[in-house]
Amino acid sequence: MSSARGRKVAISTVQQGLITEAEFVKIVIIGTGGQLVPERPLADDERRDFDIRIRRHFREYLGIQEKTSLTLRRHGRARVLQINFRRKPPIDSDADYWYFLAHFDLSTMTFSEPVFLVPSTFLHKHARNGIRGGAVQYQFKASMEPGSRDRWVQFRLSLQELGPRILELLQAQGASAAAPATASPWQLRGLLWLRTETR
């Protein structure tokens, strides 16, 4: 990205985080017509950037950790999104903890498509790339091309699909929590079981 005088503008990692997080929030809110509410955790000791819930719903949350890059790599003719990061143990993997991974294009000032929404349980297993200095190294490396068949293709989304996909995950989470549990009769409290004595 260049200024009016032709000089390159250097975006710091702090600025990158602010820009990409704001863009993520914008897309999620607008993409669901205001149905989703992204909230920042009070503390980031669990390594997530947002807790997202459905508006006027206060029980179900989806934790989101954002990882972005300002560049794309080339593998032959293919554009590849490569994001390296490290995590110190303990590594939290949970069905309600997801990663948002994307390339932010400084020229268009938004994310390139596709973007990726990956469950932590899958990413922590398949992107693990060794241990260094007591921290687990991860390398997310996904093709941006339409005909890709890599392991990450199942998590590809357009920008318009991102918000609705998160909404879908939260609705499924709520439906699961509301479903009545099938308990064994022996687990039901408040019941007195009588047995007739046989001779």
**H helix or E strand, kind and range, residue 142:** strand 135-143
Tell me the two tokens of residue 122.
């899958």
Angle between helices 13-31 and 159-178 (to 10 degrees): 70
In a 13 Å sphere around the CA of 22, the CA atoms on its Cβ side amount to 8
Tell me the two tokens of residue 182.
């099938």
124 φ, ψ (degrees, to nearest 5): -65, -25
Q: Are 98 and 120 in contact, with CB atoms under 8 Å apart?
A: yes
Task: State the burial class of residue 105 (Cβ atoms within 10 Å of its Cβ: 0-12, 13-18, 19+).
Answer: middle
Domains, in order of start, for the chain: 13-187 (3.40.1350.10)
pLDDT for 8 equals 65
pLDDT digit of tens for each residue in the chain (199 aa)?
444 455 566 899 999 999 999 999 999 999 999 999 999 998 766 789 999 999 999 889 999 999 999 999 998 889 999 999 999 999 989 999 999 999 999 999 999 999 999 999 999 999 999 999 999 999 999 999 999 999 999 999 999 999 999 999 999 987 876 655 544 443 444 444 444 454 4
